[in-house]
Amino acid sequence: MTLGQTPDIDWSQFLLDGERVDIDHSALQSYRLDRLRAELRAEGAAVGVFVSPVSLRYAVDHRAYGLFQSHIPVAYLFVPVQGPVVMHGGLSNDSSLIDEVRPARAISYFNGGSNLIANAQFLAEDLNRYLAEIGTTNRRVAIEYVNPSLTQALMAHDFDVIDAVGLIENARAIKCKEEIDCIRYAIRVANLGIDQMRKAIRPGVTELQLWAMLNFANLANNGDWHDGRMLASGERINPWYQEASERKLEAGDLVGFDTDMVGPNGYCADISRTMFCGPGKPSKRQKELYAHALSEIEHNLAILRPGMTFDEFSDQAYVQPEEFHANRYTCIAHGVGMCDEYPKIYYPMDRKGRGYPGTIEENMVLCIESYVGAVGERDGVKLEQQVLITADGYELLSDYPLDEALMS
């Protein structure tokens, strides 16, 4: 191949067949903004100040430079209970929900350096003028993920500052039809990437090469990013939480992964599977581990219902044999929407100091988790199913097949 030529790649294998899901984006965006404003109203706040890229996407569908925004914020948003939504800064502001764009103060050290305290004072003055513009005397403001200097500046200007993080997490927890359609579509894209990985599993392929297939499928279908690169094989699969490496697969390996995929439209497909690398057949112990993980998933799905408290679900959840407790997963279940989100439901042994009250509700989307691997052993199994909570139980959203070789 000479310079300027395109390599002979069948790009179609990474694109979904058929028509894309028809999403009513206007209804989607209006629902999300209404949910956010309702939470502000319930907390008695006049306005919310949002910085997280996920919050910006949720509130006004602002997408640009999400990962950059997560550690060097260049934009922030004023969302009032009533009045114009104002974006400060940003790299792309074509959302119909943004009423006005204004310059941003430098709220990161990268942009503001040693002037952070002064810039925080300027932002507080901007917010003061903004409240006057929208005609409110309510001084309660909700802010998220900002430098202490900004909180201090707002308090010095007699603002009643409250935390916006729980507020927007509660808003995001209950999904509308359009959000669920977005999640279904993201899962279709993830399934495509998983299928490409499954076909490529063979001795000599590296973990990173497998992961690249999932990542490419996401990007090729206009997805965003992955929150991690959770793929491990062989001796690296136990304990869990080891990201993809240059290790080459060997015959007889188990290969486990967790997609953590923020896909098209900003919605997450969070699916885990463990597969066997041939040639050959899985060992008796590998099948036992898989059976334990599958039993946990199936039991916990069977008890799911709206109205259960988090503690009730935790207390009734599957109990693995003691040999697997030390390497257990970090939770039994967690919420998922535009990424992993509230709630996180802990194992009973982990609730002290971590667990919190709450109730499983209809139209939440949850991921049901299991990791099974004994301390000192080579193998482990990671499984995870993504489900929609319905009026009488759940609907399985993650429909990628389980590994028949490990179940036979």
In a domain, 95, yes or no: yes
Answer yes or no: do 360 and 223 share one domain.
yes
- Average pLDDT of the residues of the chain: 94
From the list 57, 52, 11, 58, the residue with the least C-alpha distance to 34 is 58
Number of compact structural domains in the chain: 2
Residues 154 and 200 in one domain: no
My answer on whether 352 and 381 are in the same domain is: yes
* pLDDT tens per residue across span 233-279: 999 999 999 999 999 999 999 999 999 999 999 999 999 999 999 99
Residues 213 and 306 occupy one common structural domain: yes
The CA-atom distances, in angstroms, between 101 and each of 36, 76, 92, 96, 158 are 20, 10, 10, 12, 26
Both 127 and 166 in one domain: the answer is yes
What is the arithmetic mean of pLDDT over 383-405? 97
11 has pLDDT over 70: no
**Token digits for 381?**
């199994």
Structural domain includes residue 33? yes
pLDDT at 6: 44
Pair 116, 231 in one domain: no
Whole-number pLDDT of residue 4: 47
Burial of 326-351, coded b for 16+ CB within 10 Å and e otherwise, reads ebbbebbbbbbbbbbbbbbbbbeeee
Position 13 scores a pLDDT of: 74
Specify if 9 maps to a domain: no
In three-state secondary structure terms, 310 is helix
Are 262 and 305 members of one domain? yes
> What domain range is 205 assigned to?
177-406
Q: How far apart are CA 240 and CA 382, in angstroms?
A: 8
Q: Tell me whether the omega of the peptide bond preceding residue 239 falls within 30 degrees of 0, making it cis.
A: yes
Residue 252 belongs to some domain of the structure: yes
Statement to judge: residues 145 and 187 lie in one domain? no
Kindly report the CATH number assigned to the domain that includes residue 345.
Answer: 3.90.230.10
253 assigned to some structural domain: yes
**Residues 118-127: what's their mean pLDDT?**
96
pLDDT at 261: 98
Cβ atoms of 165 and 54 within 8 Å: the answer is no
8 assigned to some structural domain: no
Structural domain ending residue among the three candidates 172, 201, 234:
172
- 200 shares a domain with 87: no
Least confident window among 79-93, 113-127, 158-172: 79-93
Q: Name the domain boundary from 151, 172, 193.
A: 172
Report if residue 14 sits inside a domain.
no
Are 340 and 381 part of one and the same domain? yes
pLDDT at 95: 78
Same domain, 48 and 148: yes
Confidence of residue 137 (pLDDT cuts 50, 70, 90): very high
pLDDT score recorded for residue 18: 60
Would you state the pLDDT for residue 326? Answer: 98
Percent of the residues in the chain that have a pLDDT greater than 70, as a whole number: 95
Residues 6+ apart with CB under 8 A from 45: 81, 138, 140, 141, 142, 162, 167
Task: Assess if residue 10 is contained within a domain.
Answer: no
CATH number of the domain enclosing 32: 3.40.350.10
Whether residue 19 has pLDDT greater than 60: no
**Mean pLDDT across 190-213:** 96
Same domain, yes or no: 234 and 156: no
Among 61-65, 126-130, 166-170, 187-191, whose mean pLDDT is lowest? 61-65
Out of 119, 146, 172, pick the residue that ends a domain.
Answer: 172
